[in-house]
Structure 1
Amino acid sequence: MSELPLRAQLASVLGRSAASLSRATGRGDGSVIGGRVALKVEPDLLAKLAQGRRLALVSATNGKTTTTRLIAQALRELGEVATNEYGANMPTGHITALSDNKSAINGVLEVDEKYLPQVLKATSPAFVVLMNLSRDQMDRASEINLLAKKWRTALSQSNTHVIANADDPLVAWAGLGAPNATWVSAGQRWKEDAWCCPECGGHLKRDQDPYWECPECGLSRPETAWAVDNDSDTLIAPGGQQIKLRLNLPGDANRSNAAIAAATAAGYGLHPERTVERLREISSVAGRYTSVVTMGVEVRLLLAKNPAGWLESFAVLDPPRVPVILAVNAQIPDGKDTSWLWDVDYRVLRGRRVFVMGERRTDLALRLETDEVPFEVADRVDEILGRLKAERPDITKVDVIANYTAFQQIRTAYGRVQ
C-alpha cells in the first residue's frame, strides 16, 4: 500500500484516537465516531486508504456480517486483513477498518446495501460480493428493485469482478451489469420479493428450483461455477470437486454464506479445501449463534431482522420441546415500521412454548394470535428462565430470535458475547 499524504495521515491518526477514546469511555467500539472525525479532516480519506489494496466489498440484505467474517477468516491464510467484520458497514466504519490496519494489502468490507454504489466508486475494489436482496426497513429504505438498479448501474461503470448468488433474480440482474462475474448457486429460501422479472416486470417462471427465467424478455439464471448442496452438506467447486462443509455455524443460510466465501477466497488464489478448513473454525459472529449458559440453561442467540431472516432462523430451531423467545424492537437501526411482521409465517411455531418480549411485543403478540400460535409475554430473558425452571427443573436449552436492537440488548445483558 502506498504512503498516505500528510493530511490523510493526520486524519487517520485523529480518527483512531477518537475511536480509542470512545472505547475507553464505554461509549462503543469507536468504529463510527473514528470515521466521522477522520472525514472532517480529509473528505477523500476512504479513497486514499483504499489505494494499493485488494479489497472485497460484501453486500446483501441478510448475511453480510457473517460472510464478511468468513471471507476475512479465509484470507488470513495470506496474512493481515483489514476488515469491519463486526458490522460498522457505512463509509465511517470502512475508514476505521482501513485505518486500523494500514499495512494489510487484502481487505474485506461489509457494505450497507444503500452505500454500495458510493463505496464501490471510492475504493475500486477487486471484488464485489452480492448474496441476496429482500425487503428491509421499508420506512427508510428504497424499494429493492430500485436498489438493484442502482447496483447494476454502478457495476456497469466499474472494472470490478462480481461474485454473486445466481439463484436470487434481483442479485443476478444487478450482477449482470458487471464486466466480469463468478456465479454461485447459493440458494434462496425466501422468494416473496422475487416473483417479477427485474428487467421487464414479467412473471418469472420457477418450475424447477433453483432455476428461474422470464418468458417475456428471456432473462434467466446465469450458469454457475460454484454450488452448495444442503442435503449432503457439500460445497461443489469448479470442475465438480466436492468438499464436505461440516461448519460450526448452523443452517442452510450459513452453507450459502460459506459457498460465497469460498468463491471469493478462490479469487485471491486460495484453494477451496483449505478455505473450508478455515471456515470451520468459526462458531459465532458478533454474538450470532452464540450460546450462553445462565441459571443452568443454555441460551442460543439468533438474529433475524426481516421476513427472510426470520424464515432462516425458524429453519435452525431446535426440536419443539425447546422453548423459543421472540423479541422485537422498532428503533432507528431496526426500522420503525413493524408491518413486516405480517409477512412472516409463524405457524411453524405451533406446538412449541413461545414467549414474546421487546418494545413492540404487542405487535408481535397480535401477529402470533392471528396465526393461532399460543404465547406468553415477558420483560426479560432471565424472567422467562425463572418461570421455566420453576415448571421444568430439567430444562436445559432455550432459543432466542431477536431483531437488531433487541438482539444487542440481550447480548449486552450477557456481556456482549462474541
Structure 2
Amino acid sequence: GTNGKTTTNNLINHILHSEYDDVLSNLRGANMPQGVASAFLNDTKNEYDWGVFEVDEGSFPNIVKYLKPDYVVITNFFRDQLDRFGEIENTSKIVYEALKPLDTTLILNADDPMVSKFKDLNKKNVYYGVEKSRFSTLDQRVVESRFCPVCSNSLDYEYFNYGQLGKYMCSKCGFENPEYDYKITSIKYSEDAYHFRIDNNGKIHDVIFRYDGIYNAYNCCAAIAFSIEAGLDMEKVTKRIENFEYKLGRMENIEFKNKMVKIVLVKNPIGLSEVLKSISNDQRRKSILFILNDNPADGTDVSWIWDADVEVIHNIKNLESFHCAGIRAQDIALRLKYAEYTDKIVEIDKNIEDSIETVLAEDVDIVYILPTYTAVYQTRDIIMGHLNQTNARIPRLREIIKSKIGN
C-alpha cells in the first residue's frame, strides 16, 4: 500500500519476536527488490521462522515471483510519486494483477474502497477497519477517490476517518464496506498516546500506542489482524504494541537537551495532511521544520504539497516558528503563503544541517521535523551527531569540576 507500510512491518516484526527467534525483515523501509535482498545479505541463516517484508507497490510483481507470501497485508492506496506511479487506479491495478496467481491470505483494509475491492480475487480474506470516533468527520478536504471501484458511481459517505477511508456505500451497485473481522471501536488521546479499543468477533481488548496520528489506528489494527490470524495470543500482541519503539528515524522521539525532537516522514498529500492534524492535538510549545527534496527516491514532482490540507496549520496552537529546508524549500514557503499563514516567522534555508541547528536551539518544548524520504536518515544522523557531541562533553566537564573543587 501507500502509507503505513514501514510502521505495520515494524510492528509485526516486533510482535513476532515475542514468540520466535528468527524473524527476517527489512525494517529500514528499503522496500524495492534490492532492499528485500539486502535483508537476507545482512542476516544470513539457512532458514527463518518468519519473513516479514515491506514491499513497494511497483516492485510487488517482481518480488512475489521469488518470495511466495502466505499473507499479504494491504494498507491503502493514495496518490504518491505521481511521476512514477500515475494515479491510484494504476497503482491498485499493479498489485491486483500480481495477486491473481498467488495462493495467499489477504488482510484487507475494509475502509478503503480501493482496497476492499480486492475481495473479488476470491482469496481467503480478512478485513480490518476503524469505526466512527470523535476524530471522524464529514468535512474531509483531501479525498483521493470518491467513486465506486465497481461501477464508477459517486460513493456516499457516512463519515471519513482520513483520506477516502471511512464508511461508504454505492447507491447504484450496493458496493460497501465488508463486515469487519477486526475493528477499532473507540479512540482516545491522552498523555501523548492513543488508546484504542479493538473488537475481534466480540472479544474486546484495549491497546495503547505511543505515536501520533489517527492513521496509526489502522496500522495497529492491521498488525493485530495478521498476528491473531498467524496464531499469536492477543494479550501478548497488545503488550508488544504498547512497548513498541521506533529507532529508525520515522516517528522517532529523541530527547535533546531540554526538548523533545520528533521525526515524521511525509511524502504525499494524505500523509502531510494527517501529520499536521496530529500536531494540532499537541498543546506544547513547538516549532516545525519541513524538509522537502525532489530526488528520484522522493519523487521529482512536488506538486503534491498543493493537494495537502496545509491550511490545517491555523489549528496548531503554540506554534512558535515554521522552518523550510531542502532542495525545494522555497516551494514550501510559497505553499504556506497561499495557505495565508502569516502569524509566525517562516524561516527559509535550503541547507538541512543549518536549519536543524537553528530549530534545535529554539526555546520550545518539542520540535517536529517533517522530512521527505531522502532526508529522513540524514536528519537523524545530524541530530544524533549533535546529541553525541553534547554527551561526550559531559564526562570532560565532570573532570574539570573535580579538578577545581574536588570530588
TM-score (norm: length of structure 1):
0.78
Q: Which amino acid aligns with 1:327?
A: I
Deviation track 1:364-384 (CA, whole Å, cap 9, x = no partner) reads 111110011132213446556
Q: Which residue of 2 aligns with 1:410?
A: 379
- The residue correspondences of 1:11-160 to structure 2 (distance < 5 A) are 60-79=1-20, 80-99=22-41, 100=43, 101-160=45-104
Q: CA contact under 8 A between 1:330 and 1:359: conserved in structure 2?
A: yes
Q: Alpha-carbon deviations, 1:39-66, whole Å to 9, x = none?
A: xxxxxxxxxxxxxxxxxxxxx1111111
Name stretches of at least 5 consecutive residues in structure 1 with no aligned partner. 1-59
User: 1:160-309 maps to which residues of 2 (within 5 A)?
Assistant: 160-186=104-130, 192-209=143-160, 210-232=166-188, 233-294=195-256, 296-309=258-271
> 1:384, 1:146 → 2: CA distance?
37
Displacement of 1:250: 2.4
CA contact (8 A) 1:283 1:289 kept: no
Other structure's SS at 1:326 match: strand
Distance 1:190 1:230, change over 3 A: farther
- Give CA deviations for 1:311-346 in whole Å, capped at 9, x if unaligned: 221133233731211111111110011111100121
Within 5 Å, which residues of 2 pair with 1:348-363? 348-350=312-314, 352=319, 353-363=321-331
Distance 1:303 1:144 in 2: 20
Is contact 1:288–1:303 with CA below 8 Å preserved after alignment? yes
Q: C-alpha distance in 1, partners of 2:122/2:95?
A: 9
Moved more, 277-286 or 333-342: 277-286
Counterpart-to-counterpart distance in 2, 1:134 and 1:333: 17
CA distance in 2, matches of 1:123, 1:176: 23
Aligned to 1:36: none
| 1:83-142 superposed Cα distances (whole Å, 9 cap, x missing partner) | 111112122222232452432131101100112233234322110000111001111113
Name 1:330's counterpart in structure 2.
294
Instruction: Tell me, yes or no, if the aligned pair for 1:168 and 1:194 is still in contact at 8 Å.
Output: no
Measured in 1, the distance between the counterparts of 2:232 and 2:269 equals 34
Report Cα offsets for 1:171-204 as digits up to 9, x if no partner: 1113442411100014798861121122222211
- CA 102–255 in structure 1, closer or farther in 2 if over 3 Å, else same: farther
| One-letter amino acid matched to 1:409 | Q
Query: Partner letter of residue 397 of structure 1?
Result: I
- Distance change in 2, residues 1:102/1:192 (3 Å): farther
The one-letter code of the counterpart of 1:74 is I
Q: Which moved more, 1:116-125 or 1:378-387?
A: 378-387
> CA, structure 1 residues 153+140, in 2 after alignment: closer, same or farther (shift >3 Å)?
closer
CA-CA distance at 1:205 after TM superposition:
1.3
Give the partner amino acid of 1:153: E
The match for 1:377 among 328, 336, 348 is: 348
1:70–1:132 Cα change, 3 Å: same
For structure 2, list consecutive stretches of 5 or more residues without a partner in the other structure. Answer: 161-165, 189-194, 388-407
Of 294-303 and 336-345, the range deviating more from structure 2: 294-303
What TM-score, normalized to structure 2?
A: 0.80
Q: For residue 110 of structure 1, what is the amino acid of its counterpart?
A: E
Contact 1:158 1:178 in 2 (8 A): no
Distance 1:129 1:313, change over 3 A: same
Does the 8 Å contact 1:234/1:242 carry over to 2?
A: no
1:401, CA displacement in angstroms?
1.3
Q: Give the structure 2 partner of residue 315 of structure 1.
A: 277
Report the alpha carbon displacement of residue 360 of structure 1 after superposing the two structures with TM.
0.2
**Residue pair 1:160, 1:179 contacting (<8 A) in 2 also:** yes
Q: 1:191 to 1:124 in 2, by over 3 A?
A: farther
Contact 1:227 1:237 (C-alpha < 8 Å) held by counterparts:
yes
CA distance in 2, matches of 1:191, 1:216: 24
User: C-alpha separation between the residues in 2 aligned to 1:388 and 1:288?
Assistant: 18
Letter in 1 for 2:294: A
Q: State the SS of the aligned residue for 2:250.
A: coil
Native 8 Å contact 2:208 2:241 kept in 1: no
C-alpha distance in structure 1 between counterparts of 2:148 and 2:358, whole Å: 51
Alignment RMSD (CA, Å): 2.4
More deviation, 357-366/400-409: 400-409
Give 1:230 deviation, angstroms: 4.8
Letter in 1 for 2:339: D
The answer to whether the Cα contact below 8 Å between 2:269 and 2:307 also exists between their aligned partners in 1 is: yes
- Paired residues in the alignment total 355
Aligned equivalents of 1:74, 1:289: Cα separation in 2: 18
After TM superposition, give the deviation of residue 285 of structure 1 in Å: 4.8
- Contact 1:230–1:255 at 8 Å: present in 2 too? no
Is the Cα–Cα contact under 8 Å of residues 285 and 364 in structure 2 kept in the other structure?
no
Identity %: 31
